[in-house]
Amino acid sequence: MSVLSAHHVHKSFGAHDVLSDITVSLARGQRAALVGPNGAGKTTLLHILAGLDEPTGGAVHRARNQTIGFLPQHADQELSEPIGLFDLMRSVFAQLDRLAQHMRELEQAMADPDQHDEAIARYGKIAEQFEHAGGYTFETRIQQVLSGVGFEPADYHRPVNLFSGGQKTRALLARLILQQPDVLLLDEPTNHLDVGAVEWLETTLREYAGSIVIVSHDRYFIDAIADHIWEMQAGRLEVFRGNYTAYLMQREERLERQRKEYERQQEFIAKEEEYIRRNMAGQNTRQAQGRRTRLERLKQSGDLIRRPQERKSLRLNLSAAARSGDIVLRAHNLVVGYQDDQKPLLRCNQLYLYRNQRVAIWGPNGAGKSTFLKTALGQIPPLSGDIELGASVRVGYYAQAHEMLDPADSVLDAILKVQNMPLSKARGLLGRYLFSGDAIEKPIGALSGGERGRVALAVLALQGANVLLLDEPTNHLDLDSQEVLQDVLADFEGTLLLVTHDRYLVNALATHVWAIEDNRITVYEGNYSEFVVARAAAKAKAEAKVETPKIAPPARPKPDKHEKLRQKRAADLEMAINRLEARLRELSHQLEAAKPDDVARLGTEYTQTEAQMQTLINEWAEIAA
């Protein structure tokens, strides 16, 4: 049953058509991710679905008595009232506050003999209603949600009108989750959230009872949440079943099928036109006229197949100029921080980065990830200890804030500073990074975040580095550009040291994860999924470890029957977890080569297997503890 649908919706701003004949429906309980290049009209469609904007043509239907919650991408103009954060959340439960007040009044009435019996009868009904609606737990729920989106108790009484735009967005997201509307429309909900908050939000949305439409550039987040992908392209919309990974495979197969159908039809039209040209004045004039009529009818009908639109995306080429030494970077007794406050951000005793490793530095905001990169580059001296690059290392550095670019330079100047070349060659190069015409003369300071990122990538490609230090390279890139960058980095024949919150990228590329935990770097082998499993196992093992008493205890009795059963169960769980890990790897390979009809089935099995493995890990952790 559809709870929200758009029928032949189009939207124009002046002469510019943003949406063209959009028809789509959202079923009850469905989780759709709205994807497409920047400027494709995703936010415009969300506003129309939410009822915040009217379409130029077409109609939107919303199921009767359905509540819709909308999270804007930018919340600077929201929450203008000077109300405290916790009180804002309490306002969601105003009905419960009224019931609580009524219960207090009835408690006073019970003291009056004349009202006692009636007050008790009414109190019982209202108390049951209050408990059923969560009256005894809603304040705890508020605290859980606020903590989940990254607020501290110290924030609870701060007026929300004094919050930053990012804090307001998180406050609005928390209120929406507490409100539990039937339909959630979320525009970039992971913006302003750290990794822990994003993981919490994933879990919350997976368990959400209502329907969801998400706009996001976080591919791992979409993969975890979505069961349908709505792809926006040139103002039009196509629907794909499955998560983001399934969508990528289906999209390529669908595009190839459309391309072949278009080419077959064009070949048929060319043959028909050639027949008409040769026979229009000969013996077969009538047949030629008939074919011409049919051909004109085909061209005027809706059966004429349009040429599949090639995606306009980045074309990158990163190649290593020469081979580096086997040890790319080494650190000894290193303490990273800033000289002005002498406060250590992170420490490591011994750390090595070897040639051809692909390492992701993982940790919360403010943990010192970017500072570590700058320390490795020699831009910031260590507080103590040593860090040095190895022999024959040629570094290419991509800064998160693009501070390596001069805001006064034009796009063209930024390229020519790295490598002098003829103007025609520079124009051709910049065209591969989606800069053309007068755009190459725009100053860096006037560019958007995504545009500056593309310039920084162009500069990086010209450096011929054999070691890349990348700080949040997928920030501000649309999904197609992220895919291109990922493919290029996968083909890079050098060493990668990567700071990113992009779990999809880490999953695809990383051979190791350097996790910042308790201000120290811990090295994990494998990609993001393997890191999560290893971290959970290490945490469970640490929690299960019992400190040995200083006084030798008496001889330990033999394990009782229950202890033996627990040990056997733990061993069985470890074997089962290993089998499920092997099955996940097998399913991943099958998905890569799957046919469209098999993608949904394999995707479902992958999700179920992953959930089953997590359940077993949790049980193993409880037994170990």
Sheet with 467-471: strands ordered across:
384-389, 327-337, 344-354, 520-525, 512-517, 358-362, 495-499, 467-471, 395-398
Quote the tokens at residue 478: 């649309």
- In the chain, the percentage of residues whose pLDDT exceeds 90 is 36
pLDDT of residue 553: 47
Contact 26, 5 (CB under 8 A): yes
Residue 559 has pLDDT above 60, yes or no: no
User: What does the pLDDT read at residue 549?
Assistant: 47
For residues 351 and 299, is the Cβ–Cβ distance under 8 A? no
What number is the average pLDDT over the span 219-225?
A: 92
Bridge partner list, 237: 232
Task: Express each pLDDT in 64-118 by its tens digit.
Answer: 889 999 999 888 778 888 999 999 999 998 888 888 888 888 888 888 887 877 8
**Which residue's structure tokens are 């509540």?**
67
- Reading the block at residue 472, the tokens are 């949040």
- Token pair 């006084």: residue: 551
Residue 458: band (very low, low, confident or very high) from pLDDT cuts 50, 70, 90: confident
Please give the distance of CA 374 from its chain centroid, rounded to a whole number: 26
Cβ(24)–Cβ(230) below 8 Å: yes
Rounded distance between C-alpha atoms, residue 23 and residue 37, angstroms: 19
Question: 404-446, pLDDT tens digit by residue?
Answer: 788 888 989 888 888 888 888 888 888 888 888 888 888 988 8
pLDDT tops 80 at residue 556: no
Which strand (E) or helix (H) includes residue 219? Answer: helix 219-225
pLDDT of residue 332: 93
Which whole number is the average pLDDT over 576-585? 75
Question: What are the φ/ψ torsions at residue 111 (nearest 5 degrees)?
Answer: -75, -15
Q: What is the 3-state secondary structure (H, E, C) of 430-441?
A: HHCCCCCHHHHH
Task: Check: CB of residue 10 under 8 Å from CB of residue 20.
Answer: yes
Q: How many CB atoms lie within 10 A of CB 344?
A: 16
**565: how many CB neighbours lie within 10 A of its CB?**
11
Res 311: pLDDT: 61
Helix (H, G, I), strand (E, B) or coil at 389: strand
Q: Residue 122 corresponds to which tokens in the numbers above?
A: 């009414």
Which pLDDT value is given to residue 25? 94
Contacts of 447 (CB under 8 A, 6+ apart): 411, 455
As a whole-number percent, the residues of the chain with pLDDT over 70 amount to: 90
Q: Where are the alpha helices (DSSP H) in 357-514?
A: 369-376, 411-418, 423-431, 449-461, 479-491, 503-509
pLDDT band at 558 (very low <50, low <70, confident <90, very high): very low
Residue 280 has pLDDT above 50, yes or no: yes
Which DSSP letter does residue 61 get? E
* SS3 track for 249-266: HHHHHHHHHHHHHHHHHH
Distance of CA 229 to the CA centre of its chain: 14
| Across 17-26, 101-110, 329-338, least confident range | 101-110
Query: CA 240, CA 70: separation in Å to the nearest integer?
Result: 23
What backbone phi and psi angles, to 5 degrees, belong to 309?
-75, 120
pLDDT score, position 497: 94
Average pLDDT over residues 282-308: 81
In whole angstroms, give the CA distance from residue 304 to residue 508: 39
Q: At residue 589, does pLDDT exceed 90?
A: no
Tens-place pLDDT, residues 370-394: 999 999 999 999 999 999 998 888 8
Of 88-92, 179-183, 314-318, 485-489, the range with the lowest mean pLDDT is: 314-318
| CA–CA gap between residue 467 and residue 320 (Å, rounded) | 8
End-to-end CA distance of the chain: 45
Using a 10 angstrom Cβ sphere, with 0-12 exposed, 13-18 middle and 19 or more buried, the burial of residue 593 is exposed
CB 614 within 8 A of CB 537: no
DSSP 8-state class, residue 154: G
pLDDT for 593: 66
Two tokens, residue 77 = 């103009």
> Which 3 state secondary structure label does DSSP give 165?
helix
- The two beta strands, 228-233 and 211-215, are unpaired
Reference 345, options 380, 378, 395; nearest CA is: 380
Contact criterion met (CB below 8 Å) for 148 and 138: no
| Per-residue pLDDT at 600 exceeds 80 | no
Q: Has residue 504 got a pLDDT over 70?
A: yes
Question: Pick from 478, 440, 616, 559: which is nearest to 188 by CA?
Answer: 478
- Nearby residues of 334 by Cβ (< 8 Å), 6 or more positions away: 347, 348, 351, 375, 382, 384, 385, 386, 387
Nearest to 501 by CA among 223, 193, 202: 193
What is the spatial distance between Cα 199 and Cα 12, in angstroms, rounded to a whole number? 37
**Between 98 and 176, whose confidence is greater?**
176
